[in-house]
Amino acid sequence: MKWLPLFFSQRLLTNLFIAIDAVIANRLRSLLTALGIIFGVAAVIAMLAIGNGAQQEILNQIKLVGVNNIVVKPIIEQKEEKIEEAGGKRENKKFSPGLTLRDVRNMEQTIPGLANISPEIILNTHVIRNGIRRSAKLVGVAPSYFAIYDFQLAQGVYFSEEQLRIGAPVCIVGAAVKSRFFPTEDAIGKSIKVGPHWLTIVGVMRERLVSENSLSKLGIRDFNMDVYAPLQTVLIRYENRDLITAEALRLESMRSRGMIIDNGNSQQSETERKNYHQLDRLVIQVEETAKLTSVAEIVLRLLSRRHYDVVDFEIEIPELLLKQQQRTNTIFNYVLGAIAGISLLVGGIGIMNIMLASVLERIKEIGLRLSLGAKKSDVVQQFLFESMMISIGGGLIGVILGMVLAYGVSAVANIPTVVSFASIVLAFGVAASVGLVFGIAPARKAASQDPITSLRYE
């Protein structure tokens, strides 16, 4: 403990008290000097909080699209394409059965390393109950769907094996569907009309919070307005595009001969006719991230072979998209941090300039201290203490202002922010360092004054 007198000697404490008196005596000037540090620290904390919030939102988005997932989507053509051969003849494109459950079974049997595989059928429909009608999506799913997306139930149970096998008229509704159609009552066991059929509610999903930005950029739909039914229920009771019925052939023949004219949204009806895929989406979850790309290549080759080299599907890897977005966000954070760092640098230069001006104003005071027996080290300590007090005080105010700005931006602009302890320590540490570094030059200049000359200075 012999080092304690070195740091807490009477001389050092005297120099500290003199510095405190000088800062208090010039409160306005000290506050104006600290403005650069205040705004610099506030900018660092607010910007890092916004960046951390964006990172957290990206992690939540990864959970929404699933981890280690490969998404296969069908390509629905708007019009029939022709292929022109070298001889000038035109013929119809090659036949493809489309994306079907047979593809799913083939993948399960031939591709190793798959954790889950989830076929989906998504139908635009409407929900009716007690005179209230609302458009929604009916999603036919397998049990693996809820495991892949980590969906949790707020009420009720998942589909049973029997319900999945026979295609029972049951469903699980999203949180928004429950709040809209059952605002004050328990939805479990109640019936709701989804399209032309009545379904019994067996479960209610826990609410999933998704930003509008995520809905548009990442192709994530509003899960809270979805109605989930067993895959067989949708295929049996609603629509199975893999089946070719006599009625469908008759209608298509009549359309081709111009006997049926589509009214209303003709583009939508044309798209529905061209959608020959049984499945609207296929999500494949891989056990290991390292195998994600290789499995995607195997899926591509397998589907190309089964679809007779017709490219009527597309393969996406959402995690790679999110990682790229996360990398972009990290670079953006570095840029914001650099800008905020420049603000701290400017604040440090401001401290140095004001302290140098203060030295010129207090030459007589410095000369009087030196003539009364103060050492040059005492003068250096005094001015270093003053600059560090200004920077540390500005840092404390900046931390408070930065937190207020971060939470204010989150409340006003609806942008998620996360104020981390590391960002506070970083900003405050930089502020204290700035005061120390930029206070050295004024302190040395003050200590270099000649006592006799200083006492004569006017």
**Within-domain flag for 105:** yes
Position 451 scores a pLDDT of 61
- Amino acid of residue 56: Q
Token pair of 156, please? 């009720």
- Tens-digit pLDDT profile for residues 275-294: 788 888 898 888 877 787 88
Same domain, 219 and 349: no
Do 341 and 287 share a structural domain? Answer: no
How is residue 195 annotated by DSSP? T
Average confidence score pLDDT of the chain? 76
- The length of the chain, given as a count of residues: 458
Q: Name the pTM for this structure.
A: 0.57
For residue 285, report the phi and psi dihedrals to the nearest 5 degrees.
Answer: -100, 125
- At position 438, the amino acid (one-letter code) is F
pLDDT band at 201 (very low <50, low <70, confident <90, very high): very high
Instruction: Name the least confident of 172-176, 285-289, 355-359.
Output: 355-359
CA–CA gap between residue 287 and residue 284 (Å, rounded):
10
Residues 166 and 92 in one domain: yes
Judged against a pLDDT cut of 70, whether residue 149 lies above it is answered with: yes
Quote the Cα angle for 55-60-63, to 5°: 135
CA distance 354 to 32: 9
The reply to whether 208 falls in a domain is yes
What per-residue confidence (pLDDT) applies to 255? 59
Final residue belonging to a domain, choices 285, 311, 337: 311
214 and 117 together in one domain: yes
Q: Are residues 139 and 282 in the same domain?
A: yes
Looking at the structure, do residues 92 and 170 belong to the same domain, yes or no? yes
* Residue-level pLDDT at 95: 79
- Confirm whether 413 is domain-assigned: yes
Three-state DSSP at 136 gives strand
Overall average pLDDT of the 223-236 stretch: 89
Query: First CA to last CA across the chain, in angstroms?
Result: 46
Q: What is the pLDDT of residue 14?
A: 75
The dihedral formed by the CA atoms of 209, 287, 147 and 220, expressed in degrees to the nearest 10: 30
pLDDT band with cut points at 50, 70 and 90 for residue 452 = low
Range of the domain at 302: 76-241+276-311
pLDDT at 86: 46
Q: Is residue 104 part of a domain?
A: yes
Mean pLDDT of 99-120: 89
Q: Is residue 70 included in any domain, yes or no?
A: no
The verdict on residue 252 lying in a domain is no
Single out the residue of 385, 399, 455 nearest to residue 427, CA to CA.
Answer: 399
pLDDT above 60 (res 41) = yes
Who has greater pLDDT, 16 or 194?
A: 194
- Of 67 and 131, the one with more pLDDT: 131
Q: In the predicted model, what is the mean pLDDT of residues 343-361?
A: 71
Q: pLDDT confidence of 458, banded at 50, 70, 90?
A: low
Q: Are 96 and 195 within one domain?
A: yes
Is 253 part of any domain? no
Specify the range with the lowest mean pLDDT, choosing from 24-33, 88-97, 116-125, 383-392: 88-97
Amino acid identity, position 72: V
Span 402-447, pLDDT tens digits: 888 888 887 887 777 888 787 788 777 877 777 777 777 767 766 6
The verdict on 81 and 221 lying in the same domain is yes
- What's the half-sphere exposure (Cβ side, CA atoms, 13 Å) at 275? 18
Residue 173, strand partner residues? 204, 227
**Domain boundary residue, one of 311, 337, 365:** 311
Predicted confidence band of residue 198 (pLDDT cuts 50, 70, 90): very high
User: How far is it, in rounded angstroms, from Cα 381 to Cα 433?
Assistant: 15
Q: How many CB atoms neighbour CB 7 within 10 A? A: 8
Domains in the chain, number: 2
Q: Report yes or no: 204 and 153 within 8 Å, Cβ to Cβ.
A: yes
* Residues 387 and 436 both lie in one domain: yes
3-state SS class at 230: strand
Q: Which of 73-77, 206-210, 431-435, 437-441 has the highest mean pLDDT?
A: 73-77
Q: Is residue 268 part of a domain?
A: no
Residue 425 shares a structural domain with residue 349: yes
pLDDT in tens, 238-274: 988 887 666 556 655 665 565 555 544 444 444 455 6
- Domain identity same for 94 and 16: no
Query: What integer is the mean pLDDT of 122-144?
Result: 89
Query: Is the domain of 92 the same as that of 194?
Result: yes
Phi, psi of 126 (to 5 degrees): -140, 155
